[in-house]
Amino acid sequence: MENRESKRPHERLEVWRDAMDLVETVYRFSSAFPDTERYALTGQLRRAAVSVPSNIAEGAARRSKAEYLRFLSIARGSLSELDTQTQIAIRLGYAKHDDALAELTDRVFARLTALMNVLGKPGVSAQPGSCDSPFPIPDSRPSHA
């Protein structure tokens, strides 16, 4: 990742950074799948993995709490899809259980759920400067500094 002085809002979220690590792990996990699965399970697994940090980033850029929560929910759904596809790959013998993948999946799921729970509390806003949350709620306004 490029080293910038100021990070984009989603880059400050630990859940997004973990989800990016998850994508790399999924690509390695699926790299030895049979060629016949290139456009099937391999593609689905990788798309689900990429969807997780992508939806976290898109939600973080939204101006309303409801939209932010909706994109976090989509990310969590993609994570569940990824988990199911991983289990299918293992059952079909395309890969063995991967502890790092399982741990990252669990961590991202827990962090997504925690962020959604915090944002779902009354009085917590996704609007910049109006949140007492322990989780950073990204400021999506352009900086004029």
Q: What is the DSSP string of the chain?
A: ----SS--GGGG-HHHHHHHHHHHHHHHHHTTS-GGGTTTHHHHHHHHHHHHHHHHHHHHT-SSHHHHHHHHHHHHHHHHHHHHHHHHHHHTTSS---HHHHHHHHHHHHHHHHHHHHHTSTT--SSTT----SS-----SPP--
Domains and CATH numbers, the chain: 10-119 (1.20.1440.60)
Give pLDDT, residue 121.
Answer: 85
What confidence tier does 97 reach under pLDDT thresholds 50, 70, 90? very high
Decide if pLDDT at 10 tops 70: yes
Give the pLDDT band of residue 81 (cuts 50, 70, 90): very high
User: What does the pLDDT read at residue 131?
Assistant: 38
In this predicted structure, what is the pLDDT of residue 130? 35
pLDDT value of position 144: 38
